[in-house]
Amino acid sequence: MRTLFIAATLLLPGLVLAAPPKGTPMPHGLLFNLDCTDFFYHRIAEGVDGGAVLDQYVDIIADAGAAVLLINTNARKTNCASAVWETFWDGYDPAGPDDQPFLVAIPAADRPTYRPMIHSMWALDAQGVDYPARIAARCRARGVSPWITLRMNDVHFNDDLSHPFHGKLWRDPKFHRGGSMGYYQRGLDYAHPEVRDLYMKLVVETLERYDLDGLELDFMREPYLFREGAEAEGAKILEAFVREVRKLTEQAAAKRGHPVRLGVRVPSHIEVAQGWGLDAIQWAKEELVDLVVPTPRWSTLEYDLPLAAWKQALAGTGVTLAGGLEILCRPMPGGLAHSVTPERAVGAAAAVLASGADDVYLFNYFPNIAWSRPDYLKTLQAMSSLDALRKLPRRHVVTWRDIIGPHEAYTPPLPAIGAALSFALPTGPAAPAGAAVTLELQVKGEANTPAPEVRINDTACALQESKPNDHGVLFVYTVPATMLLTVEPNQISVSAGQPVTVEGVEMRIVP
């Protein structure tokens, strides 16, 4: 741990300060993760007052009701000037051609979008605007708590190590975790001190440079941090790493005169997170973290996050528990991925709060999402209150888990094939009086496919209509709202005269 100890003393060398009291509660409400590229992809910083444009961008998030804004500043490089990491635009010639050495590894079809993003980062920095500092200042002006979130093992574009997305260390195969997991083979192996030092330097710089209310270690980009079979030993390495980061946040709190909290984003199931060495429960019990965010990775929302189990395991630690919502909703592996609709987002958020979690945490819910601005504001504003969510139309969907543990045998709920099928679907809080509730069953087949019989919690549901579509037939059933369970998952039984293939199960509740 020599290198980590050195890093932990860099923030305030030769000076020992007492951290402020821990009694100040963490603000509760909507937690909003802002990734390191979205602003630059969609807002040009050159030829305008980049700082003012950035303020306007933050205002949309504040207007949407965010209590905490987590500013992501890195992937495999940083989107702001750094003394310890390479920046996204290092080596870029803003006046050069599209086939300059910096851009030549990017497929020609991708350059029209990638280059403007890089150029905007360069231009904002050239204007003297420090991206995270400007956002943090605007957050404080708007009453939003500013955090920074660091991606601890991002692997975007890892199929081509000549891509300018990658920093120097990532190009060296000896630091890759390897193994048989395809896309994740070129993730970094935290067993190497050089890898841990790389990230610790960024942690130190972040806390030294910026006045923050919190720092998050995002282990969901990506959670595979050790070579296959080395996860148990890796858990010890990660606990030591998190312990050192905790020392740094306490030093930062002493320097700033207010709490600087530490959060982690981890896989949705406790045993899965632990299986990959991410023992957030132990970290909480050791008082190393203040916020734990169980979440899917990216492929889909999970409407059945086991947050009650997390809450029970975290009891007595004082740690804030937030359920993570992704922007995609995909019913099954390989199925169609849909950007979540407001109704599906409301359903997922309601399930999070109804399960006993403290807060909802949004990932990739950018202001440029394909919703109307009124829908965006109304939907996100409701996510701080279960009562507000109950008043909005919502959908709950049978989906799947996109992170499983090492060697875990896991069968996704869909597709399901058989003459007698069953599904479990939690639907959060009770439906308001007079609400219209329907169940949508997507069945593979032809327009004349007979409708299966459906029972929910052993109560028969009447067929309302059938709708042939490109994927088969969508059967819609009327559900007695009083039959829905509010604590346990609803049990959905599907019976047919002959085997059917079910590819979608979705409950809609309209007040």
CA distance 236 to 196: 13
Task: Name the burial class of residue 26, with classes exposed (0-12), middle (13-18) and buried (19+) by CB atoms within 10 angstroms of its CB.
Answer: buried
The structure's pTM equals 0.95
CA distances (Å), origin 75, targets 81, 166, 207, 429, 500? 14, 9, 18, 37, 44
Q: Are strands 291-295 and 261-267 parallel, antiparallel or unpaired?
A: parallel
Q: Across the chain, what does the average pLDDT equal?
A: 94
Instruction: Flag residues of the chain having pLDDT under 70.
Output: 1-24
Predicted confidence at residue 47, as pLDDT, reads 85
- Asked if residues 506 and 395 have their Cβ atoms less than 8 Å apart, the reply is yes
Q: Containing H/E element for 314?
A: none
- Asked if residues 230 and 191 have their Cβ atoms less than 8 Å apart, the reply is yes
Predicted confidence at residue 23, as pLDDT, reads 57
**In this structure, what are the phi and psi dihedrals at residue 379, rounded to the nearest 5 degrees?**
-65, -50
Predicted confidence at residue 12, as pLDDT, reads 43
Predicted confidence at residue 338, as pLDDT, reads 82
338: β partners: 329
Q: 35, 63, 25, 34: which is closest to 359 by C-alpha?
A: 25
Predicted confidence at residue 22, as pLDDT, reads 59
Length of the chain counted residue by residue: 511
Residue tagged 């409407």 (tokens): 303
Per DSSP (E only), the strands in 254-364 are 261-267, 291-295, 320-325, 328-329, 338-339, 359-363
CA distance 241 to 17: 21
CA distance 323 to 300: 14
CA distances (Å), origin 254, targets 13, 16, 136, 258, 261? 13, 9, 19, 7, 12
CA distance 106 to 247: 40
**187 token code pair:** 């993730």
Predicted confidence at residue 46, as pLDDT, reads 78
Helical pair 50-63 and 111-126, crossing angle rounded to 10 deg: 110
Q: Which amino acid is at 296?
A: P
- Asked if residues 76 and 170 have their Cβ atoms less than 8 Å apart, the reply is yes
Q: 406, 396, 431: which is closest to 504 by C-alpha?
A: 396
Task: Name the burial class of residue 319, with classes exposed (0-12), middle (13-18) and buried (19+) by CB atoms within 10 angstroms of its CB.
Answer: buried
Q: Cis (ω within 30 of 0) for the bond into 415?
A: yes
- Asked if residues 369 and 38 have their Cβ atoms less than 8 Å apart, the reply is no
**Integer-rounded Cα radius of gyration of the chain:** 24
Per DSSP (E only), the strands in 195-346 are 214-218, 261-267, 291-295, 320-325, 328-329, 338-339
Predicted confidence at residue 18, as pLDDT, reads 56
Number of H helices and E strands in the chain, helices first, is: 13, 17
CA distance 286 to 314: 11
Q: Which amino acid is at 499?
A: P
| Structure letter (DSSP) for residue 78 | B
- Asked if residues 279 and 270 have their Cβ atoms less than 8 Å apart, the reply is no
CA distances (Å), origin 222, targets 186, 225, 389, 424? 11, 7, 31, 29
Over the stretch 210-233, which tens digit does the pLDDT of each residue have?
Answer: 999 999 999 999 999 999 999 999
Q: Cis (ω within 30 of 0) for the bond into 271?
A: no
Domains recognised in the chain with CATH numbers: 2-13+28-397 (3.20.20.80), 416-510 (2.60.120.1200)
